[in-house]
Amino acid sequence: MDNLKSLVLKHLSSRHGALLDAWTKTGNHPSGTTVENHCDMVYSLALLGELPAIASAAVDRFRELILAADLPGWSTRDVAEARLSVHNCAYLLGALNLLEQRFSGVFASALGSRRFRPEQLIDMRTCVPRFPRKWAHHNWRVSHWLGGVPSIILSLEASGANGADEVEGLSARVREAVSGLMDPSTGMIRAYRSDILQRLFRIAYGFRHSPDLGDLGGVAHILWIDHASGRRYLALPEIHAEASRLFQSREPFMEAVPYCLDFDVVQALRTSAQQLGVDSLQDRERAFLMMSDIEKFFEQPTAGYTLHKIPGALATYHECGLLVGEVSLRQLELAPIDIISAAKWL
């Protein structure tokens, strides 16, 4: 029987074969492929232990694509949001962080000589990330700015790219400012001002998704920055308790298929337990079950399972492996990867 690595590679080959071949063989990126698609493939290959299979020609073409892209923070337009979203820009820099492991200097060369403009991303007086106020009640969506902006700056600080020395320490100041938009009693995001409107939003949101999962999935984007930078979580015991509750209450996955929301919960649970110095047999047993469920899912992925969900599913598998203390993931033929420490975003 095929292991998980073989199953995922077969799935990528059958449904995203042209893009897989572009990254591992030809270097000729298919027309119409988005930046997000390319990042999905880089993350997937990294989480499968297949970075050595990436073709240098593909990296060269990817660099050309990035040099031509209008990135938030490097845009020549006087807007806070360039054509690529803040979320996808953080994801792009995360992909470059992963590629840097094999192709030294790719991060700096992909950004070129462009000047970083932090005022496009933050209020320079308060260091609070700029985000659309219309999304203040949508904790999951607004988190893409509240976590994505410090992630972009954190990646830049560590990159050696043009302008990195000019922003040293800025990610920490931005992250500190984000705490002003969080509830110190729960650790969750609180960018909204009206409790009544928030209750109405949660009722409406609940018709399609769990508001509690949305809250934890939202703050997870901020916890990633804390984890990558060694910062203690706000309301740490409460975050751990909520992550454990959600992890234990939904099977086999947080929603219908495995994707990044599962990672948000497991990563918050694993890292908060690590910070607290606690270990739960019940959570470890649940993590073993989730690993088995992910293996079974990829034996026959559901129709319409998108490329963007694959990195989240694989990252969840790795995170479960870290939670249960695995030294080697037999099904993937490699040691578990702490993807947030490596990439600073997912």
- Rounded to the nearest 5°, which phi and psi values hold at 334? -160, 165
The residues that bridge with 129 in the sheet, in sequence order, are 122
* Type of residue found at 77: R
Say how far residue 104 (Cα) sits from the centre of its chain. Answer: 22
Other C-beta atoms lying within 10 Å of the C-beta of residue 283: 21
Percentage of the residues of the chain whose pLDDT score is greater than 90: 87
Lookup result for tokens 């500190």: 176
Separation between Cα atoms, residue 59 and residue 172, nearest integer Å: 31
Look at residue 328 and tell me whether its pLDDT is greater than 80: yes
Separation between Cα atoms, residue 15 and residue 157, nearest integer Å: 37
In this structure, what DSSP letter does residue 4 have? H
Q: Using alpha carbons only, what angle is made at residue 143 by residues 337 and 90, rounded to the nearest 5 degrees?
A: 50
- Name the residue ranges covered by the structural domains of the chain: 4-343
Q: Is 53 helix (H, G, I), strand (E, B) or coil?
A: helix
Say how far residue 294 (Cα) sits from the centre of its chain. Answer: 18
The number of residues in the chain equals 346
Mean pLDDT of 192-198: 85
| pLDDT for the residue 81 | 39
Question: Please, what is the average pLDDT of the chain?
Answer: 95
**Six token digits for residue 30:** 């298919």
Helices (H) and strands (E) in the chain, counts: 16, 0
Look at residue 201 and tell me whether its pLDDT is greater than 90: no
For 262-290, what is each residue's pLDDT tens digit?
999 999 999 999 999 999 999 999 999 99
**Sign of the torsion formed by the C-alpha atoms of 112, 115, 120 and 121:** positive
Contact 188, 181 (CB under 8 A): no
| pLDDT for the residue 77 | 66
Mean pLDDT of 231-242: 98
**CATH topology assigned to domain 4-343:** Glycosyltransferase (1.50.10)
Residue 83, judged by CB atoms within 10 A of its CB (0-12, 13-18, 19+), counts as middle
Mean pLDDT of 182-192: 95
For residue 207, what pLDDT band results from cuts at 50, 70 and 90? confident
For 124-155, what is each residue's pLDDT tens digit?
999 999 999 898 898 999 999 999 999 999 99
Contact 329, 317 (CB under 8 A): yes
Mean pLDDT of 254-265: 97
Contact 323, 284 (CB under 8 A): yes
Separation between Cα atoms, residue 227 and residue 193, nearest integer Å: 28
Look at residue 93 and tell me whether its pLDDT is greater than 70: yes
Separation between Cα atoms, residue 41 and residue 108, nearest integer Å: 21
Lookup result for tokens 């234990």: 248
Other C-beta atoms lying within 10 Å of the C-beta of residue 235: 18
